[in-house]
């Protein structure tokens, strides 16, 4: 019985960030989400799962969709937010952001500054991502809508 209590307390502790602050305010994201990416006529459904990682110092998102997926690590330091995205093709993007848990505005810094996106908490069960990406002389605007079901 005592072992079960110790294990249960470990699981709860690992589900929360190590300290209070901006990263802790994103706790509403922890769990599974059903999302849809929309860019023009293109619709791509995907699943996103969030969990704290590295002793609660980062928030890890794993996204899966037909034919692929990606992972993102999100952290906060005094300078603001940092997101590192590893996509299924082996590419990596690093973004810096400002704002609060309800609205974070990001701009890519690696490999270039071609991505701008904002993550907005709509409610306890919905968030959106608005993005613009410049590639090949073209700008693509997209909206992801994610719902907790």
pLDDT score, position 79: 82
The token duo for 104 is: 């974070």
Tens-level pLDDT at each residue, the chain (149 residues): 434 333 333 334 445 555 668 999 999 999 999 999 999 999 999 999 999 999 999 999 999 999 999 999 999 998 899 999 999 999 999 999 999 999 999 999 999 999 999 999 999 999 999 999 999 999 999 999 999 97
Residues 6+ apart with CB under 8 A from 119: 103, 104, 106, 127, 128, 129
User: How many other CB atoms are found less than 10 A from the CB of residue 58?
Assistant: 19
Evaluate whether 84 touches 76 at the Cβ level (below 8 Å). Answer: no
Distance CA 72, CA 50 (A): 9
Q: What domains can be seen in the chain, in order of their start residue?
A: 2-147 (2.40.128.20)
């Amino acid at each position: 019985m005592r072992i079960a209590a110790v294990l249960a307390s470990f699981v709860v502790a690992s589900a929360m960030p190590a300290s209070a602050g901006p990263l802790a305010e994103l706790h509403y994201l922890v769990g599974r989400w059903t999302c849809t990416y929309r860019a023009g006529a293109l619709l791509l459904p995907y699943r996103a799962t969030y969990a704290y990682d590295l002793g609660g110092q980062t928030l890890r998102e794993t996204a899966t969709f037909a034919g692929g997926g990606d992972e993102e690590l999100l952290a906060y330091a005094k300078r603001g937010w940092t997101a590192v995205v590893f996509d299924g093709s082996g590419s990596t993007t690093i973004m810096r952001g400002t704002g609060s848990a309800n609205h974070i505005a990001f701009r890519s810094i690696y490999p270039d500054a071609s991505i701008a996106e904002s993550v907005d908490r709509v409610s306890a069960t919905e968030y959106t991502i608005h993005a613009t990406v410049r590639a090949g002389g073209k700008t693509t605007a997209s909206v992801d809508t994610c719902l907790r079901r």
